[in-house]
Structure 1
Amino acid sequence: MEKKKIVVTSRVFPETRALLEAHARLVVNETDEPWSAGKLLEHCRDAFGLMAFMTDSIGEDFIAACPELRIIGAALKGYDNIDVDACARAGVTVTIVPDLLTVPTAELAIGLILSLGRNILTGDTAIRGDGFSGWRPALYGAGLDGATVGILGFGLVGQAIAERLHPFRCRVLAADAECRSDAAFPHIQFAETDRVMAEADWLVLALPLTSETQHIIDRSAIARMKPGVRIVNPARGSLVDEAAIADALSTGHIAGYAADVFECEDWARDDRPKDIDPRLLADKARTVLTPHIGSAVTHVRRDIELSAARSIVDAIAGRPPAHAVNAPVPREVIEDA
């Protein structure tokens, strides 16, 4: 029996490739650049499975054009770039990797806070550009000791960030859609979103991107924050209105912005900007920007790929794959209807 075709849209570790090749016939993007929508569709028209990444946009038209597709193993935690309902209607299971990104993303959030508050990148640039002749009364920043840190979203990532903040002796406020027991998190104060925004010296975003959370940080929200707030976004770019952030930086209402994610990455938005606001790129003194490296720890990325690959192997073998986020109608039933 001929092996089923699996498409992998990004260069992967040898271990990932070996696992899939033992069960399937692979087509792999061997470059660091994502395929165009047309090229992705060309490869997937007769594919049984797809390992998808952040750079892929999977919508209803794509699914309809891929009649053999049964499994999308997303090497992702957030999956707003995949229309999971359309997949379910077409008999395609979508799986994610729910936990492996949590710790490295939380670690990066702490790194962004410290880099932004303590002017680490600006200091590094000054040393390399001007030479160093000793201490000067410059680059005074903001620490965490005694500060109020607000966290919007208290899922796994929000909890991991809060846990790592505790040794810094800061006051942590958290807003979350679910009711949580204060006893389970004795170092956290839970509050409504508006209060968290109003009281935070640092505001950290740990929310998924949904229609409700898109631009949760807009001009109106920023106006309700205290002057001098610093905002850190390791979650999804479109949680913020980047133009509003740039405006508030220019007036000084926001003292700093750090981000690992950007609006231009969010494929689920037809109206997403094509580039990062150039004012954010130019404001090197008050921004820290990293290229979506929240999970970029070598062993973590390998484990993420292997988890997605195992889901695909399960589907090939006819087993229910782990971490499915939809409940598809079998395509055979759809075709017989």
Structure 2
Amino acid sequence: MTKPHILQMGPYPEWDQVPLDGQFTVHRYFETEDKAGLLARVGGDIRGIATRGELGASAETIAACPNLEVISVYGVGYDAVNLEACRARSIRVTNTPDVLTKDVADLGVAMMLTQSRGMIGAESWVRDGSWATNGLYPLRSRVWGKRAGVLGLGRIGFEVAKRLHGFDLEISYSDVSAKDFAAASWRFVADPVALARDVDFLFVTLAASAETRHIVGEKVISALGPQGMLVNISRASNIDEEALLTALENRTLGSAALDVFEGEPKLNPRFLALDNVLLQPHHASGTFETRKAMGQLMRDNLAAHFAGRDLLTPVL
């Protein structure tokens, strides 16, 4: 039987690449300099696209593949896939939720702890001899007993809130409506600005969409204030980076801990000059266990489609 032709938008680890190559005829878009030439040659053969959340699939790429049937995203975010183009042609789209949820929540909480207690600076204090020559590391702020807000109580937001409960934090959340699965002690606050005003730590755990673009803008950031911390483990587009940078530089926002950035990995160099932001390389799902599960689910969705079975985790 002829293997379905797949357009691969970005690299995967070997443990994913080998089985992907075994199941499909794979055309590696990311390896060629002449991308338009590749699409001109093989676009008509392509029935599926294997991509990553931050790479997605543009309207132009989709248009160049007239027989495209399915796009399988390695990652939970699918905002970089042109869903309008997919709907117009009844192209199916899948992602890999659930398998990465708890690792993302773990990193978000770890980022809060690391930034609050100054752990990066404290390690440097030991390594560069400052402990021996200058004495104890400067005091930092506690975490337990404070107030945390979760903007977006979906899968990841729920897991974040569960973990924060273990640190005796008072938990509030904002979403389109109150959630019946939220713990009775978690307070629903409809307005993100009001949520930010009432908390010390604001976790952004929203799925990205046109409606959520820059939902964390100047008003939310100002409400969080000079003692507040913003933690983003969602998508960069949910935050107005210009407003965030200005607030961090002016100290009208206390601090931030960020795993995602506009234009990553080439983030705005203004971030690098700040001492009140923790920078991470978009690796909230970056464990061996989760990445292997993501790759398996990405391939299983493709296999299910071409076998005529129900998709495991459909978006469209």
User: TM-score, normalised on structure 1?
Assistant: 0.85
**Higher RCO, 1 or 2 (CA under 8 Å, sep at least 6)?**
1
Aligned residues: 314
After superposition, the C-alpha distances for 1:111-154 in whole angstroms (9 at most, x for unaligned) are 11011101111112233334531773543222211111111110
- How far residue 2 of structure 1 moved from its aligned partner, in angstroms, is 2.7
1:7 and 2:36 correspond: no
Contact 1:27 1:43 in 2 (8 A): no
1:320 is aligned, of 287, 310, 315, to 310
**For residues 156 and 315 of structure 1, what CA distance do their matches in structure 2 show?**
25
3-state SS, counterpart of residue 283 of structure 2: coil
| 2:284 equivalent in structure 1 | 294
Contact 1:5 1:48 in 2 (8 A): yes
3-state SS, counterpart of residue 133 of structure 1: helix
**For residues 253 and 232 of structure 1, what CA distance do their matches in structure 2 show?**
16
Going from structure 1 to structure 2, the CA distance change for 1:110 and 1:40 (only over 3 Å counts) comes to: farther
Going from structure 1 to structure 2, the CA distance change for 1:119 and 1:35 (only over 3 Å counts) comes to: farther
**For residues 232 and 224 of structure 1, what CA distance do their matches in structure 2 show?**
15
| 2:233 equivalent in structure 1 | 234
Contact 1:20 1:313 in 2 (8 A): no
- How far residue 172 of structure 1 moved from its aligned partner, in angstroms, is 0.8
After superposition, the C-alpha distances for 1:168-223 in whole angstroms (9 at most, x for unaligned) are 111111111132237x5133111122321111111111111222221122223222
1:279 and 2:264 correspond: no
**For residues 201 and 232 of structure 1, what CA distance do their matches in structure 2 show?**
11
3-state SS, counterpart of residue 122 of structure 1: helix
1:139-178 paired onto structure 2 within 5 Å: 139-178=138-177
- How far residue 226 of structure 1 moved from its aligned partner, in angstroms, is 3.5
**For residues 34 and 114 of structure 2, what CA distance do their matches in structure 1 show?**
35
**For residues 278 and 30 of structure 2, what CA distance do their matches in structure 1 show?**
30
- How far residue 287 of structure 1 moved from its aligned partner, in angstroms, is 1.0
| 1:96 equivalent in structure 2 | 95
1:303 and 2:303 correspond: no
Going from structure 1 to structure 2, the CA distance change for 1:64 and 1:30 (only over 3 Å counts) comes to: closer
- How far residue 37 of structure 1 moved from its aligned partner, in angstroms, is 5.9
2:183 is aligned, of 182, 185, 192, to 185
Going from structure 1 to structure 2, the CA distance change for 1:88 and 1:30 (only over 3 Å counts) comes to: closer
User: TM-score, normalised on structure 2?
Assistant: 0.90
- How far residue 38 of structure 1 moved from its aligned partner, in angstroms, is 4.2
**For residues 34 and 153 of structure 2, what CA distance do their matches in structure 1 show?**
35
Going from structure 1 to structure 2, the CA distance change for 1:28 and 1:63 (only over 3 Å counts) comes to: closer
**For residues 38 and 187 of structure 2, what CA distance do their matches in structure 1 show?**
46
% identical equivalent positions: 26
1:62 and 2:61 correspond: yes
Going from structure 1 to structure 2, the CA distance change for 1:221 and 1:21 (only over 3 Å counts) comes to: closer
- How far residue 59 of structure 1 moved from its aligned partner, in angstroms, is 2.4
**For residues 267 and 34 of structure 2, what CA distance do their matches in structure 1 show?**
20
The amino acid that maps onto 2:267 is I
Going from structure 1 to structure 2, the CA distance change for 1:235 and 1:35 (only over 3 Å counts) comes to: farther
- How far residue 80 of structure 1 moved from its aligned partner, in angstroms, is 0.3
- How far residue 246 of structure 1 moved from its aligned partner, in angstroms, is 1.9
**For residues 123 and 110 of structure 2, what CA distance do their matches in structure 1 show?**
15
Contact 2:125 2:137 in 1 (8 A): no
The amino acid that maps onto 2:189 is A
Going from structure 1 to structure 2, the CA distance change for 1:154 and 1:21 (only over 3 Å counts) comes to: same
The amino acid that maps onto 1:288 is L
The more displaced of 93-102 and 130-139 is 130-139
Q: Unpaired runs of 5+ in structure 1?
A: 266-273, 327-337
**For residues 298 and 55 of structure 1, what CA distance do their matches in structure 2 show?**
19
Q: What value does the CA root-mean-square deviation take over the aligned residues?
A: 2.5
Contact 2:29 2:38 in 1 (8 A): no
The more displaced of 17-26 and 170-179 is 17-26
